[in-house]
Amino acid sequence: MVVIQEVKTRKQKKQFLNFGLNLYKDNPYFIPPLYGNEKKLFGNNHDYCDQAESVFYLAYRDGKVVGRISGILQKASNEKWKQQRVRFTRFDCIDDQEVANALFGAVEQWAKEKGMKEIVGPLGYSDMEREGLLIEGFDQLNTFEEQYNYEYYQKLIENYGFQKDVDWLECRITAPNDEYLEKVKRVSQKSMERFGLHFGEAKNTKDFLKKYANDFFHIIDETYAHIYGSVPFTEKMKKSIMKDFGLVINLNYVAVILDKNEKPICFGLAFPGFGKALQKSGGRLTLCTLFKVLHAIKKPDSIDLALIGVLPEYRMKGVSHALFAKMAERLKYSTAKYAETNLMLDYNYNIINQWKNFNPVQHKKRRAYVKEIQ
């Protein structure tokens, strides 16, 4: 018999945090989230408390934890997209349909009590969190930004009645050949000169964030306003993101384009692939783990592409090509052997086509599901 309990006690919170880590222990493709960040979600003052409600459930059988799930009522998202949805996230489960049904049933009942009409997921509080169920690429190392899951999850979710909402693709890319790179640099330089643009500089990470952080969020909101699942930033989110960025940014993999008034109009942000450094500690930043992370940031084996943003008035004017050329050049002379695009909506052909000269290999695919509440 499966028993569902809402997470309330300190013991239950610890069980919720540890279940996924135990389920994927020694899995070579799983990259854990930062344990400390996950722990904060149980507090009353976490980054998204101003715009969302949360519930956490554990599934027990014979007194043993066999699954977990969280439900999110993302009010800002519902208001923006004119929807009545509850998101599910942090779904982890043994390969057992009864357990999965009980977990989804608990979130569905909670959503019904909130007056919602649909459940969607896996989605986090915002599109800055891990999202989407891995449905292809189970033999590929995950990036820190995204979540790994076992292949049987798809069966458990679909058997409960969920259907596809959207798909994302992920590609592994390498620097383009010199001929293409020089061509793009020539063309993009003309666009830069035409509009009076230039690349911004910074002495160090602190200086970079001080100069460009505020404009960074404005550009993100403008660029991703119509992207699936996006929500506007709050001041609390901004502060938290900047704090995290300050730990992992390597200026070799960041580029910003400024106008003649020194205002950012375009940026590209990538992170050194440090996920493997977190595997043994389960995402806990022990002293040993911290040294590994810092080494990976300084001399990465791979690069995780995070965000590319262009203000609307500069789109389709060749400006983004200058950014891509700069990022490609830095990748070419990096210790990294390749870069990961992370998530791209499968119908976002503008972005997908940007990588066609970067020797792309589509090696992962993710899906968000939706189900009408009964």
pLDDT higher than threshold 80 for residue 60? yes
What does the pLDDT average to over 153-177? 95
Share of the chain above pLDDT 90, in %: 57
Q: Output 318 or 294, whichever has higher pLDDT.
A: 294
- Average pLDDT of the segment spanning 298-320: 86
For 363, the token pair is 């090696």
Pairing type for strands 361-372 and 163-173 reads antiparallel
| pLDDT band (50, 70, 90) for residue 304 | very high
Which pLDDT tens digit goes with each residue over 99-140?
Answer: 999 999 999 999 999 999 999 999 999 888 899 999 999 999
Q: Of 142 and 178, which is predicted with more confidence? A: 142
Comparing 265 with 88, which gets the higher pLDDT?
A: 88
Taking the C-alpha atoms of residue 197 and residue 71, their distance in angstroms, rounded to an integer, is 45
Q: pLDDT value at position 50?
A: 84
Cβ atoms of 208 and 251 closer than 8 Å: yes
Quote the CA–CA distance of 13 and 298 in Å, as a whole number.
34
Q: What is the mean pLDDT of residues 184-192?
A: 83
297 or 168, which is more confident? 168
Rounded Cα–Cα distance for residues 21 and 35 (Å): 10
Q: What are phi and psi of 69, to 5 degrees?
A: -165, 155
Q: For strand 198-199 and strand 163-173, is the pairing parallel, antiparallel, or unpaired? A: unpaired
Highest-scoring range by mean pLDDT, 184-188, 226-230, 289-293: 289-293
Q: Do 131 and 18 form a contact (C-beta atoms < 8 A)?
A: no
Query: Chain-wide mean pLDDT for the chain?
Result: 90
pLDDT band of 172, cuts 50, 70, 90: very high
pLDDT at 75: 93
More confident residue, 227 or 147: 147
Label residue 156 exposed, middle or buried (CB < 10 Å: 0-12, 13-18, 19+): buried
pLDDT over threshold 80, residue 242? no
Long-range contacts of 151-158 (CB under 8 A, 24+ apart): 152/95, 153/91, 153/93, 154/367, 155/97, 156/93, 156/95, 156/97, 156/100, 157/91, 157/100, 157/104, 157/133, 157/369, 158/369
Q: How confident is the model at residue 10 (pLDDT cuts 50, 70, 90)?
A: very high
pLDDT the model gives residue 246: 67
Predicted local distance difference test score (pLDDT) of residue 119? 98
Question: 344: helix, coil or strand?
Answer: strand
pLDDT for position 34: 92
Has this prediction a pTM greater than 0.85? Answer: yes
Q: Roughly how many angstroms between the first and final C-alpha of the chain, as a whole number?
A: 23
Mean pLDDT of 236-255: 77
State what percent of residues in the chain have pLDDT above 70: 99
Q: Which pLDDT score is estimated for 79?
A: 93
Q: What mean pLDDT do residues 70-95 have?
A: 96
